[in-house]
Amino acid sequence: MNELLPLIYLSVLLVILAGSAVFIFRQVFQTRKTETNLSQLQKKLKQEQGTPLEYYQLGSIYLDKKLFVQAAKLFQKALKSGKKEEPENLALIHNALGYAYFAQEQYDMAIREYKEAVKNKADYITALNNLANAYERKKLTAQALEIYEQTLTYAPNNSVAKRRAESLRKRLVTSN
């Protein structure tokens, strides 16, 4: 048994190293892919007018990099591009623009964009949760609760909406 102990330790170490190598490789590959997309989209959009999808994709990369001002400008260009978009796509763009404003603590503008997203797609759960969260940040508890409850009509098992609605109900009861 004592002869097997070093072999077991070595095997465990190799498994851990192999797992770490796979994780690092995936991260490097994902980063290279993102950087390539970033470079290609930037180059294309400098040379010509892009599609709403291209502006949205580049804006999303900027959001991931926490470049919120630049992301917001790209989402605005996507909305102003003049090309007709499906309501679902418009909802995505408005929600992303709302997130960019929210991250900059521009809650009124974020609320406006989240409302536009929901107007384009009434059952857009992410936008509804984002809207309720923005209301919470503005200390508009009743409005936030109303939106979380609306979210639960579309997605009864939504854990975020359940948890936040319950918390807000308690807060409203204790404040009255």
Looking at the structure of the chain, the number of domains it has is 3
Same domain assignment for residues 99 and 55: yes
Same domain assignment for residues 16 and 56: no
Mean pLDDT along residues 56-77:
94
Query: Global pTM?
Result: 0.79
Same domain assignment for residues 58 and 72: yes
Alpha-carbon span 62 to 84, nearest angstrom: 24
Asked if the structure places residue 110 within a domain, the reply is: no
Confidence grade of residue 72 (pLDDT, cut at 50, 70, 90) = very high
Residue type, 127: A
Same domain assignment for residues 127 and 176: yes
Confidence grade of residue 176 (pLDDT, cut at 50, 70, 90) = low
Asked if the structure places residue 117 within a domain, the reply is: no
Among 41-50, 74-83, 134-143, name the one with the lowest average pLDDT.
41-50
Same domain assignment for residues 72 and 38: no
Asked if the structure places residue 109 within a domain, the reply is: no
Mean pLDDT along residues 42-65:
88
Residue 83's domain comprises 49-104
